[in-house]
């Protein structure tokens, strides 16, 4: 039987309090990207996230992923949990998802937190993503995992590991790559929300991962500069703040949400 074009997205719900929606990154998932800080977020918020097609328990779609669909599915999850308004946290690919959500549903969004993210893929990001996509779709998952270690960890974090530890981490990652990785990375290459930015008036925090080899800090700062009500926080981390600096990342998000 064919997979439905629009599957039911698997939903994560934790905590109580004001609503906080989570949008995850490509090749990740709610647990993979937010698990290390979930308890802290849920201590003060009703946290709701959905896994994109091919991540977590959400089946793959037949066609290419669409930013509007991902944003609307996240709002539908908020509706199902009785949340009228909410903050939205977008990590990596989740940033364009969060921005599109705010553009499509401005009356629902109180604030945005955008981490390690971009408004569009520049030439460098597209090149990185194209290698990622080719290795995954070619079944070269061990090589892809080694490539992702190189392209996601900051130089200090990578150099703190021995070559044997890096190989072990790559083996673990290769076995855990979500089935929808290729589809999600394809959306990284196509996503462009630059036209949405000027119309977003809610407070926004842009967390720049300042040692990020995957999404360059300059591209992250470019996003912040185009948002009318953005403040910037620099985090000395590679592309995986939940791995390298989880408590610092949580503290930045908590402090911002407490003020907005």
> What are the pLDDT digits (tens) for 139-197?
999 999 999 999 999 999 999 999 999 999 999 999 999 999 999 999 999 999 999 99
The structure tokens listed for 171 are 């083996």
The answer to whether 189 and 129 are in contact (CB under 8 A) is yes
The CATH number assigned to the domain with range 11-122+191-259 reads 3.40.50.1820
What is the pLDDT at residue 216? 97
12 by DSSP, 3-state: which? strand
The rounded distance, in Å, linking the Cα atoms of 140 and 170 is 12
What is the pLDDT at residue 62? 87
What is the pLDDT at residue 8? 81
Contacts of the segment 129-134: beta carbons below 8 A, 24+ positions apart: 129/26, 129/185, 129/188, 129/189, 130/189, 132/27, 132/181, 132/185, 133/182, 133/185, 133/186, 133/189
Stretches in the chain below the pLDDT threshold 70: 1-7
Domain residue ranges in the chain: 11-122+191-259, 124-176
What is the pLDDT at residue 128? 97
What is the pLDDT at residue 104? 97
């Amino acid at each position: 039987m064919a997979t439905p074009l629009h599957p039911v997205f698997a939903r994560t719900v934790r905590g109580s309090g004001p609503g906080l929606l989570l949008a995850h990154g490509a090749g990740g998932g709610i647990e993979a990207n937010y698990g290390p800080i979930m308890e802290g977020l849920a201590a003060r918020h009703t946290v709701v996230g959905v896994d994109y097609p091919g991540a977590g328990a959400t089946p793959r779609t037949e066609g290419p992923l669409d930013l509007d669909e991902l944003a609307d599915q996240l709002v539908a999850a908020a509706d199902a949990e009785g949340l009228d308004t909410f903050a939205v946290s977008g990590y990596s690919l989740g940033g364009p998802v969060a921005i599109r959500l705010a553009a499509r549903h401005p009356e629902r969004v109180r604030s945005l937190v955008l981490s390690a993210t971009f408004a569009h893929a520049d030439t460098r990001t597209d090149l990185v993503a194209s290698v990622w996509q080719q290795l995954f779709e070619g079944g070269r998952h061990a090589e892809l995992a080694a490539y992702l270690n190189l392209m996601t960890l900051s130089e200090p974090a990578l150099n703190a590991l021995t070559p044997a530890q890096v190989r072990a981490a790559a083996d673990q990652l290769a076995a855990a790559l979500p089935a929808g990785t290729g589809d999600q990375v394809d959306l990284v290459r196509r996503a462009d929300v630059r036209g949405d930015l000027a119309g977003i008036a809610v407070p926004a925090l842009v967390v720049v991962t300042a040692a990020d080899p995957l999404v360059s800090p300059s591209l992250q700062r470019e996003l912040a500069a185009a948002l009318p009500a953005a403040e910037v926080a620099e985090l000395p981390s590679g592309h995986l703040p939940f791995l390298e600096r989880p408590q610092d990342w949580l503290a930045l998000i908590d402090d911002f949400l407490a003020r907005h």
